[in-house]
Amino acid sequence: MNNIFTGRNLRAPMTIFALLFLQFVHAQQFNGKYYNNLDNMGVILDGYDPVAFFTDNKPVKGDPANHFSYQDATYYFVSPEHLKQFQDDPEKYKPQFGGWCAYAVSLGRVAPIDVNTFSIVDGRLVLQHNNRAVAGWNKDVAGNLQKADKYWPAVSGGGGKQIVKDVLHVDVATESVQVVINDMSGKSIKTFQLQAGMHTVSVGDLSRGIYQLVTYVKGKVAASKLVTKF
């Protein structure tokens, strides 16, 4: 079983991710609703027709007159025919990962989309945030899709918050820091001395429970976070 950290910022001027991954959660809901990428009218895909990505091989703006609601999202279609196709098989045509950037989900978070980045992978409509995300996705399409599938239940269940599994990612900006993991009695469990840069810290050997993650800069507390190990 993967070992995971989840956290709530207490004071975090530095970028430290220590958030939840729920391995056995299969729902894609947050606060009782599907976690979709919607506009302020509740419309998904920026109003583009999901069926057109398959039939026309390009983004086509839908007509609000042809609309249908599915899994807490409103879809627009260019024609009644496309609407009927979607109604007959919504799972075939709906965007994957709630219409969020698939590459971002493969990294354990969400990002908005540009419909022009779409691709059909194994019959599934996936979209990306921008060309940089497309490049990252295309480095390992099958592997990234597998990761996105694995992480999506936790990402959606956490409202899009960053997740990480058996490692903790620490981004140190400009100077060396000391990162300390304490138990709730204040006893130090792990200590890391890190220089500037992105670091991957193993936390897989810690028992389940609540810990405090503290970052020190020149002996002073720079960030503190409560984290829960699963």
For the cut 60, the answer to whether the pLDDT of residue 13 exceeds it is no
Q: How far apart are CA 51 and CA 43, in angstroms?
A: 15
For the full predicted model, state whether its pTM sits above 0.75. Answer: no
Euclidean distance between the first and final Cα of the chain, in Å?
9
Helix axes 131-138, 141-157, angle to 10 degrees: 120
- In this predicted model, what pLDDT tens digit does every residue of 47-75 receive, in sequence order? 999 999 999 999 999 999 999 999 999 99
CB atoms within 10 A of CB 38: 18
E strand map for 71-208: 73-77, 114-121, 124-128, 167-172, 177-183, 188-194, 197-202
Q: Each residue of 160-181: pLDDT tens digit?
A: 876 655 666 566 776 788 888 8
Contacts of 48 (CB under 8 A, 6+ apart): 59, 60, 61, 62, 76, 115
Report the DSSP beta bridge partners of residue 119. 126
Domains of the chain: 5-21+165-229 (2.60.40.3080), 29-157 (no CATH)
